Chains A and B, each alone.
Chain A
C-alpha cells in the first residue's frame, strides 16, 4: 500500500502537476510535485478516491480550485475505456487584442442576443425615469444609445473599457489615466483613519509599559526602572469593499470607477471588489491578476453588467456573502447613481447590516457631481441615514479629491 509508487504513475503525477500549473495557474512547482509523489506513496494508489483526496490536499490551496482539480484528475487518471470528459476552460480566459472579440468562437452563435439584451434584462421600473427628472442633465441618454452597452455577447469588456470605444467624444490616454487613478487610490488609502489597531508597538508614548525595553534600560541602572518605555497602538490599516453599480444607467462612469477599483487593488491587497447590475459578481481575482500596463480585460459578467439596477437585493446578498469579512477595519464604498427600481426597504436592510459591521460607509455617486444635485432618489433617501458620506464621483477630479473629502469628515 505505501512505499514506492510505479514509475509510470510518478510520471503521470508529475505531468498532472505541470498541467494544473500551466493550464489553470495553480501555484504548484517542483516542491509540490515532490509532495504529491510522497502523498501518493502514503495512500493506496489502487484506490482512485484515496489518490485523488491525497493529491487534492497537496495541490489545491483554495476552495474554488477544487472543481478544476477534480475535473482534471478525472480526465488524467480515467480508465482507458472511459470517454474523455469535455475540456474545462482555464480560470482566466486568455483575451484577444482590443477590438478582436467579435471574432471569437462565441460571437457568431449569439449575435441576435445583443439586440435582445435590453428587453432580456430587468425593464426599468416606474421609479427610474421620474427620478431622472429630479436632477439636472446627466449622461443617461448617451449611455442608452451606446451600442456597446447593449451586448453581453462579448467575451471581454475590453472594448467597453477602451477609451476609443467610449460613449462620448472624450479620449483619454489609458496609461496616463491609470497613473492618475493610482495617485487618487494612494491618497484615499492615506486619508482613511479608522482609529487604532489592537496590536501593540513600541512608540514614544502609549497606554502600556514596554516591560522588555524598560527592563533592558533598568539593567543599566542596577535594576532601577528609571527610564520607562511605552507600547502604543498604531493606526489601523483600512480594508476596502468596493461595490460598483455596473447597470446601464451608470454609462461610462462605471468604466472609470472600475479602473479606479483596479488602481486601488494595485495599491493595496486589502481590497474586495464586486460589481452588480441585476446580478452580483466578485471581481477581485480578475483585478488582482490584471496587468497594470494593459487595458483591463474581464470575462463576460452576465447579469452583473450593463442591465437594470437592483441595488437593494444585490447589496443584501453581498452583506450575507461578505458577512465575516466586513469588520470595523472595512471601508465600504458603494459606487452608484442610486437609480434603482427595487424596494428601498431591502436596500435599507442591506445597508443597516453592512453599517453594523463596517468601519465606514461611503456612497460615491456620479450624479452628486452635477451642480444643483439633490439626493432625492428613493435609494439614496433610504441609504442616507446609514452613510458616513455621500460624495461626488463625476470624473478623475472627484476621485482625486476623494481622500481629502473623506479626511474632512473623519
Chain B
C-alpha cells in the first residue's frame, strides 16, 4: 500500500496507478497530484466511459485511504447527501419517555445517537483524509450545486440542532461530470480542472493487458484498434474503456485468440449498445474482421 507522502514524486502516482491497472496520462497524474497539494477539489470532465470514476477509486487505493462516494441524481438534496435523523427511533424514544413519565429535551432528541451521517458528513468526520467522489455532479440540479459551493469552500457544515461541524481533515475531492448539464462558473472556479480524453491506442492496449493478464497479445491489439476505429464514427454511444474491457473479456470467455467476423457478431453487444450504432458500424467492423483475418 502506498502512502500519500510518496505521491510527491512525479512518477510515483503513475506507477501506483499502473499497479492498480489504471494507465494515467501525465497531465491527469499531475492534476491528481495537485489535489492533496493544493487541497482543492478536482473536476474531471469527459465522455462517458473514459475512466473518470475509476480515477477517483484508484486514487483512494493509491493513497491507501477510504473512498466515500456520493452518486448524484436528479432530485438529490442536502439531506440525502449530508445527514438525516433516524425519525423512527426518535419517535419510539419520545413515546417510551412519555410512558415512563420522563421528559425529553431537544438536546437529547437531536443528539448524535440519532444522527445518520450521509456521504458528505462522513467525509468530513474522518481522521485520515478520505477520497470523496462526487460522481456525475451534472445529474444533480442547480440547487444542489449551489449547496455544494459552501461545503467545498469552507469544509464545514451546519446541522441546525448540533451546530457547525468543521472537517477534521480535508477530503481529497474528485467531482466527475459527463456534461449533461452546464455547471456553474462558481463551481468551476472552486475546482482544479482536467478533461479526460479517451486513452490512446497504446494506453488502451496497456489497460487491456493490465486488466486481463491472460489475453492473447494479438487479440488485445486487434480489439483496441477496432474500438479506436469505432470511436471515429458518429455513434450515438461511442464505446468507453469499460466496453473495450467487456469486449475483450467476452472474446476471452469464448476462447478466441483473434478477431473474425463470427466472433465480432457473437460479441458485438458488449461494445455497441445501440441497434442504430451496430448498423452504422457494420461496414467498419467488416473491414476490421477482414484485416484481422488477412494479417
A222 touching B98, Cβ below 8 Å: yes
A219 to B94, CA, bound (A): 7
Contacts of B191 in A (CB 8 A): 61
**Per-position binary interface string of chain B over residues 173-198, scored 1 when its CB falls under 8 Å from any chain A CB and 0 otherwise:** 00000111110010011011111000
Give residues 150-164 of A contacting B (CB, 8 Å). none
A60 touching B87, Cβ below 8 Å: no
User: With A27-B189, A218-B94 in contact, do A35 and B38 touch (Cβ < 8 Å)?
Assistant: yes
Q: Is A2 interfacial (CB-CB < 8 Å)?
A: yes
**Per-position binary interface string of chain A over residues 209-234, scored 1 when its CB falls under 8 Å from any chain B CB and 0 otherwise:** 00110110011001101000000000
Q: Is A58 interfacial (CB-CB < 8 Å)?
A: yes
A225's nearest neighbour on chain B, judged by CB, is: B91
A44 touching B141, Cβ below 8 Å: no
Q: Is A320 interfacial (CB-CB < 8 Å)?
A: yes
B30 touching A53, Cβ below 8 Å: yes
A212 touching B85, Cβ below 8 Å: yes
Q: Is A63 interfacial (CB-CB < 8 Å)?
A: yes
**Per-position binary interface string of chain A over residues 293-330, scored 1 when its CB falls under 8 Å from any chain B CB and 0 otherwise:** 00000000000000000000000010010011101000
Q: Is A368 interfacial (CB-CB < 8 Å)?
A: no
**Per-position binary interface string of chain A over residues 32-48, scored 1 when its CB falls under 8 Å from any chain B CB and 0 otherwise:** 10010011001110010
Q: Is A82 interfacial (CB-CB < 8 Å)?
A: no
Q: Is B104 interfacial (CB-CB < 8 Å)?
A: yes
A62 touching B109, Cβ below 8 Å: no
Q: Is B37 interfacial (CB-CB < 8 Å)?
A: yes
Q: Is A409 interfacial (CB-CB < 8 Å)?
A: no
A49's nearest neighbour on chain B, judged by CB, is: B26
Give residues 8-53 of A contacting B (CB, 8 Å). 27, 32, 35, 38-39, 42-44, 47, 49-50, 53
Q: Determine how close the nearest CB of chain B comes to the CB of A101; give it in whole angstroms.
A: 30
A39 to B97, CA, bound (A): 57
Contacts of B179 in A (CB 8 A): 324-325
B189 touching A39, Cβ below 8 Å: no
**Per-position binary interface string of chain B over residues 221-238, scored 1 when its CB falls under 8 Å from any chain A CB and 0 otherwise:** 000000000000010100
Give residues 50-82 of A contacting B (CB, 8 Å). 50, 53-54, 56-58, 60-63, 66
Q: Determine how close the nearest CB of chain A comes to the CB of B241; give it in whole angstroms.
A: 18
B98's nearest neighbour on chain A, judged by CB, is: A222
User: With A57-B31, A61-B189, A325-B181 in contact, do A215 and B75 touch (Cβ < 8 Å)?
Assistant: no
A223 touching B95, Cβ below 8 Å: yes
Among A125-133, A192-200, A246-254, A387-395, the one that faces the other chain is A192-200
B34 touching A218, Cβ below 8 Å: no
Q: Is B69 interfacial (CB-CB < 8 Å)?
A: no
Q: Is B77 interfacial (CB-CB < 8 Å)?
A: yes
B38 touching A323, Cβ below 8 Å: no
B179's nearest neighbour on chain A, judged by CB, is: A324
A215 touching B31, Cβ below 8 Å: no
* Other-chain residue from A35, A50, A200, A215 in contact with B90 (beta carbon distance below 8 A): A215
A269 to B184, CA, bound (A): 10
A49 to B30, CA, bound (A): 10
A53 to B179, CA, bound (A): 22
A166 to B42, CA, bound (A): 49
A20 to B43, CA, bound (A): 20
* Other-chain residue from A38, A57, A61 in contact with B185 (beta carbon distance below 8 A): A61
Q: Is B74 interfacial (CB-CB < 8 Å)?
A: yes
Q: Is B52 interfacial (CB-CB < 8 Å)?
A: no
User: With A39-B37, A323-B236, A325-B180 in contact, do A215 and B87 touch (Cβ < 8 Å)?
Assistant: yes
B98 touching A42, Cβ below 8 Å: no
When A and B form their complex, what is the total count of cross-chain residue pairs whose Cβ atoms lie within 8 Å? 113
Contacts of A62 in B (CB 8 A): 188, 193
A223 touching B91, Cβ below 8 Å: yes
A53 to B30, CA, bound (A): 6
* Other-chain residue from A39, A47, A57, A215 in contact with B194 (beta carbon distance below 8 A): A57
Q: Is B33 interfacial (CB-CB < 8 Å)?
A: yes
A218 touching B98, Cβ below 8 Å: no
* Other-chain residue from B79, B95, B143, B193 in contact with A60 (beta carbon distance below 8 A): B193
* Other-chain residue from B27, B141, B193 in contact with A199 (beta carbon distance below 8 A): B141
B30 touching A54, Cβ below 8 Å: yes
B30 touching A57, Cβ below 8 Å: yes
Give residues 65-99 of B contacting A (CB, 8 Å). 73-77, 79, 85, 87, 90-91, 93-95, 97-98
Q: Is B40 interfacial (CB-CB < 8 Å)?
A: yes
User: With A63-B195, A324-B178 in contact, do A54 and B91 touch (Cβ < 8 Å)?
Assistant: no
A327 touching B180, Cβ below 8 Å: yes
A247 to B104, CA, bound (A): 73
A284's nearest neighbour on chain B, judged by CB, is: B182
B75 touching A200, Cβ below 8 Å: yes
B31 touching A53, Cβ below 8 Å: yes
Q: Is B8 interfacial (CB-CB < 8 Å)?
A: yes
A199 touching B74, Cβ below 8 Å: yes
Give residues 1-40 of B contacting A (CB, 8 Å). 8, 10, 26-27, 30-31, 33-34, 37-38, 40
Contacts of A44 in B (CB 8 A): 10
B97 touching A223, Cβ below 8 Å: yes
Contacts of B8 in A (CB 8 A): 2, 42
A56 to B79, CA, bound (A): 35
* Other-chain residue from B48, B85, B192 in contact with A58 (beta carbon distance below 8 A): B192
Q: Is B204 interfacial (CB-CB < 8 Å)?
A: no
B42 touching A57, Cβ below 8 Å: yes
Contacts of B195 in A (CB 8 A): 63, 66
Extra inter-chain contacts (10) besides given A39-B37, A199-B143, CB under 8 Å:
A27-B188, A38-B37, A39-B34, A56-B194, A57-B27, A57-B34, A58-B34, A62-B188, A199-B141, A325-B179
| Chain B residues proximal to chain A, CB less than 8 Å | 8, 10, 26-27, 30-31, 33-34, 37-38, 40, 42-43, 45, 48, 73-77, 79, 85, 87, 90-91, 93-95, 97-98, 104, 106, 109, 141, 143, 178-182, 185, 188-189, 191-195, 234, 236
Top 9 A-B pairs, shortest CB-CB distance:
A223-B94, A198-B75, A61-B188, A53-B30, A211-B87, A57-B31, A199-B75, A324-B180, A53-B27
9 sample A-B contacts, Cβ–Cβ < 8 Å, listed by A number: A42-B33, A43-B10, A50-B10, A53-B30, A57-B34, A57-B42, A211-B85, A317-B234, A320-B234
